[in-house]
Structure 1
Amino acid sequence: MYFDTFSDFIAMGGYAAYVWSAFGITLFCMLALYWKSVSQGKALLNDIQQKIDREARRQAAKKMENTL
C-alpha cells in the first residue's frame, strides 16, 4: 500500500486504531514472552546449580562417613 504523507501512513486509511493496537498487542506479547523465557532460564540454571551443590555435599558427607 502506498501512502502520500506520513500522516496518511499513521492513519492507515482509517484503520489506524486496529492496525496500531494489533502492533502494540503483538509487541507486548513478544516482550512478555522474552521476559518469561529469560526468567525461567535463570531459574532453571539456579535449580541445576543447587542440585550440583547438593550432590557434592552428599558425596563429601559419604566420604567423611567412610573414614570414621
Structure 2
Amino acid sequence: MAFDSISDFFAMGGYGFYVWLSYGLTFFALAVLIINTLSKKNKIMKVVEHRLSREQRIKKAQNREGTL
C-alpha cells in the first residue's frame, strides 16, 4: 500500500487540502450540472405537455364547430 495509515492517505503527502478540494469542487460542479439539466428537462416537458393539451382542446373545439 502506498500510504502507511488512513491519516497519511487523507494528508496526501502534504497536498491533501488541494487534492480533496479539487475532488470536492469537481463533484459539486457535476451535481449542479445534473440538477440543472434535470430541472430544465422537467420545465421543457411541462411546456410540451401544456402545448399538446392546448392543441387537443383546439382540435376538439374545431370539431364541435364543424358539426354544428
The verdict on a shared fold, with TM-score over 0.5 as the criterion, is yes
Name structure 1 gaps, 5 residues minimum.
none
Equivalents in 2 of 1:61, 1:35: separation in Å? 39
Q: Secondary structure at the match of 1:2?
A: coil
Residue pairs, 1:2-13, within 5 angstroms: 2-13=2-13
Q: Secondary structure at the match of 1:4?
A: coil
Task: Verify: 1:31 aligned to 2:31, yes or no.
Answer: yes
Equivalents in 2 of 1:2, 1:46: separation in Å? 52
Partner of 2:16: 16
TM-score, normalised via structure 2 length: 0.91
Q: How far has the Cα of 1:41 moved from its partner? A: 1.3
Q: How far has the Cα of 1:67 moved from its partner? A: 2.0
The residue type paired with residue 29 of structure 2 is C
Q: Secondary structure at the match of 2:59?
A: helix
Q: How far has the Cα of 1:24 moved from its partner? A: 0.6
Q: In the comparison of the two structures, how many residue pairs are matched? A: 68
Equivalents in 1 of 2:29, 2:6: separation in Å? 27
Name structure 2 gaps, 5 residues minimum.
none
Partner of 2:43: 43
Percent sequence identity is: 38
